Amino acid sequence: MIKLFKRTKLQSCCMILLALLIIGTVMSNNTKSSASSTAPYLIKVNRYMNCITIYKKDKTGEYTVPYKAMACSTGGANTLLGTYKTPAKFRWKLLMGDVWGQYSTRIKGGILFHSVWYYKQDPSTLSAVQFNKLGTTASHGCIRLSVVDAKWIYDNCPLGTTVIIYDSKDPGPLGKPEAMKMPTSSGWDPTDPLSNNPWANKSPSIAGATNRTIKYGSKVNVLSGVSAKSSTGYSITGLIQVSGTVNTRKAGTYKVTYEVTEASGKSAKRTVTYKVLRDDRKPTLTGIKNRLVNGTVTINRALAIKGVTAKFDGKVLSDNRIKVTFTKASANKYIVTYHVVVSNGNSVTKKSTIVVDKTAPVLHGIKNKMVSGETDVTRTYALKGVTATDNGKTLSQSKIKVAISYVEDHWNIVYKITDNAGNVTKKTAKFTVIDGAVIYGVKNQTVTSDVVVDEEFAMNGVTGYIDAVNATDKIKVTISELVDNQYTITYSLTDNGGYEETAEAVITVKPSVVIKGATDRVISSATPLTKEIALQGVTATEGSDDVTDSIEVTISDLVDNKYTVTYTVVDSNGYAVETKVVFTVVSQ
């Protein structure tokens, strides 16, 4: 702790005299350089960045040429900003805290350039901890440097050299050098040029720089795996400089030199050889596959290169670079050959097959059904008993697509299957919904007279269902008497609830007799119409038999000068055939 007190005027004068006395004593005990009338360099100290840039004169005598950069440790706010001229130098200088500094150059008052401090006036008693702070704010106001940098200012910047102390986030035109590090077990500044410095026979080293063989066109990072250490054993990999280039797109041998220089000025250098092999890159073909197509597909180049990609050196080639040839192996099989050649002469060839399948798959077991209103018609229900085959092989039922829709009183079921070649088969089934009793197949018919109309005839093609269960055997059939050559057949079916469903069919019997020559005529009023006249030219046959004699003639009364004549013949089965004509009477 510092105790503050108010000085009197006399005390102040005494303090000034005491300070002058001390300075004089110190200067008398240390070597002081004489002032120079000219200064070859300008020193600029970036207090904020703890970095020094040395400038030399340009052709006009102005300090515009950046010459050298140094890492330092300033005292932050304790290092005063401004422009100064160096007034004195000291080979060894006693510093604040009873410590020592080498190669000191005064800037102003108690602010000096000097080495990192020593516990004694002995180069083996350096504070390694403070040395490792170089490049950061660490001093009480002075500007600390490594010995090599402090000595350079001491040796090369005469008294009267201008020093500018400023703040900036830009370290300067040469950047900020990487400060050297050292182990805390040592008391020697590794940059000290004294011959008895134990670091004097230590040098930086480069590791990992070896001769390498590189594939043509590959990416190469010449710094990959390469590292460097300072003479004190710390990493200075970031300081490695590389000269020489490697062109991986030209086969040959290339020399690459690695060099690293540490803050002490010591350096290491290593040259290695990179051998780039000849270009053995080959193109690639991807997306080639065997194809199975149906008969509608055209076998051509467009089909063959669909989805196929050719690449070389990581770049996609134009489809035009792919040569495609077809060889017909059989009636339905083609061998496709793909070939690509690239600029270095290397090539790639691949093959695939295209098989043409013209046979569509087959759906089995699809049929119309009767279902009750309570039946849940789902995909699973619709597929009961349904199978599919393709070219003799059974296909998975999962490949069958089923579309179900309800229309009025039935379900429409559409089955569809597509084989691997794209051939499609579609079938439709009708599931009729039945609630109660239903009779199907009842219809009116016309038959010849030789047909026996009985129950067996009546049930031909007729089915019956009760709640979608076949009940044909429960249908009752009633056949009427023949009236006007017609039978009326009545069908009835009673459901489980006692409801009776009925249906009727009319069976018209067509007699086997044919009457010919019966036509309308005109007769004279002078000639009475008789049966004999009416039968003139009229005949009747039954099969190959002449049954004209069986014709019965009925003549109506004269009405409006017209007679209606009816010809009737009964065939051998008892069915009558009747034909009517008109005789018109005219006056003579």
Looking at residue 557, its pLDDT comes to: 94
Q: How confident is the model at residue 281 (pLDDT cuts 50, 70, 90)?
A: confident
Q: Is the pLDDT of residue 5 over 60?
A: no
Bridge partners for 35 per DSSP? 159
- The active-site residue, picked from 142, 157, 364, 410, is 142
Which of 29-38, 387-396, 553-562 is predicted least confidently?
Answer: 29-38
Q: What is the pLDDT of residues 132-151, one digit of tens each?
A: 999 999 999 999 999 999 99
* Per-residue pLDDT tens over the stretch 407-462: 988 999 999 999 999 999 999 999 999 888 899 999 999 998 888 999 999 999 99
pLDDT at 523: 93
- Top pLDDT among 14 and 465 is at 465
For the whole model, what pTM was predicted? 0.48
How many other C-beta atoms can be found within 10 angstroms of the C-beta atom of residue 514?
Answer: 15
13 catalytic residue (yes or no): no
3-state secondary structure of 352: strand
| SS3 state at 189 | coil
Active site residue 51: no
Q: Is the pLDDT of residue 193 over 60?
A: yes
Which residues fall within 8 angstroms of residue 369, CB to CB, at 6 or more apart?
429, 430, 431, 432
Place of tokens 């670079």: 321
- Write the pLDDT tens digit of every residue in 80-101: 999 999 999 999 999 999 999 9
Tokens found for residue 342: 């690239």
User: What is the rounded distance in angstroms from the CA atom of residue 176 to the CA atom of residue 64?
Assistant: 18
Q: Is the pLDDT of residue 508 over 60?
A: yes
Cα–Cα dist 338/340, whole Å? 7
According to DSSP H, which parts of 416-468 are helical? 455-458
Strand, helix or coil for residue 205: strand
pLDDT at position 576 is 86
Q: Which residue has the tokens 């510092």?
A: 2
Write down all domains in the chain, each with its CATH number in brackets: 28-166 (2.40.440.10), 205-276 (2.60.40.10), 284-357 (2.60.40.10), 362-434 (2.60.40.10), 437-510 (2.60.40.10), 513-586 (2.60.40.10)
**Annotated catalytic residue: which of 114, 157, 339, 410?**
114
Q: Would you give the distance in Å from CA 168 to the centre of its chain?
A: 50
